[in-house]
Amino acid sequence: MSKKLVVAVCGATGAVGREMLKTLHDRQFPATEVIPFASARSAGTKVPYGDQELTVRELKEDVFAGVDIAIFSAGGSASLQYAPHAAKAGCVVVDNSSTWRMDERCPLVVPEVNPDALAAHKGIIANPNCSTIQMMVALKPIHDAVKIKRIVVSTYQAVSGTGQKAITELETQVRQMFNLQEPEVNVYPYRIAFNILPQIDVFLDNDYTKEEMKMVNETKKIFADPDIRVTATCARVPVFYGHSESVNIETEMKMSPAECRALLSQAPGVQVYDNPKEKMYPMPIDAAGEDATFVGRIREDDTIENGLNMWIVADNIRKGAALNAVQVAEELLKRDLVRVLPQDRKTFID
């Protein structure tokens, strides 16, 4: 890698793209140049980067020469089209879409969980689903200590996971209802204000949603454990920022709630917030704007021999997207894995 370190943020005008720029600046990522890319209609606009403003350039297939790391948050179709060209140009892509997550050529990485997987990258690294990320951060130390056999997770996901249009719709619907107006429904199949939708993404042939199967399949890949049993139910709730999860695990060996709290208190990226007697437990309002994954309500499941329940909350835009991607980039630098080997550069095109 040259002394000059050029980073591109693709999809820089979106909510996650802007958060990625903010995270790069806040964490003092050692880039000598940061280039924001977006669609042609956004080219020429300005995006904030610390005290500066950066001019957005048009994302095209031939713009990656001289770029070392390209962080993508431009949507699945854009990642499918442009990420292979970025990898061929010799930079490393960290992609936030679902496009490359289950591709066997692409590591699926949560830095607190499986950073060693980065060594096998061929130019594209996948950022996991936001709900999977926070669950993995909390469960990895437990899995290492007593081996998790089965996971049952129910999620309560904020509208920001759908994007700015969903945030605006929730706000608009609340205003309309308080003014005794019929709420407009455009983003979701039904009204989201004062409601819960037990559907995120489309339904598949097995009657699970695509979001639910993402959690199942990504967990197996990240843990490198095809035998771990995972089942998920994912719901959308009228919260702006912060995904919450009710997680039940069954382990091979016994771990008490006290042992679990002590273990997670020392785990990277985790903040234990758990004192039921004082009504202390994590909520989305605690996680919004924070980097940590919060864990509380840790208690024994006495219906099985080795079971625990817990409540996991994180900011889906930060740890669930922007922060994780930037942490991956930081880990690439730390491990000297930024430049792609010449023989691997054409892998995703040819």
The answer to whether residue 243 is catalytic is: yes
**Distance between CA 61 and CA 69 in Å, rounded?**
15
**280 - beta bridge partners?**
275
**Distance between CA 233 and CA 180 in Å, rounded?**
33
> Which pair of structure tokens corresponds to residue 313?
């909350």
Given the residues 85, 121, 143, 243, select the one marked as catalytic.
243
Listed residue (271, 229, 334, 333) closest to 137, CA to CA: 271
C-alpha to C-alpha distances, 147 to 141, 164, 220, 256, nearest whole angstrom: 9, 39, 13, 14
Residue with tokens 């903010």: 22
CA 242 from chain center: how many Å?
12
Q: Which amino acid is located at 152 in the chain?
A: V
DSSP state of 161: G
> Which pair of structure tokens corresponds to residue 16?
């996650």
Given the residues 10, 106, 130, 234, select the one marked as catalytic.
130
Q: Which residues are catalytic?
A: 130, 243
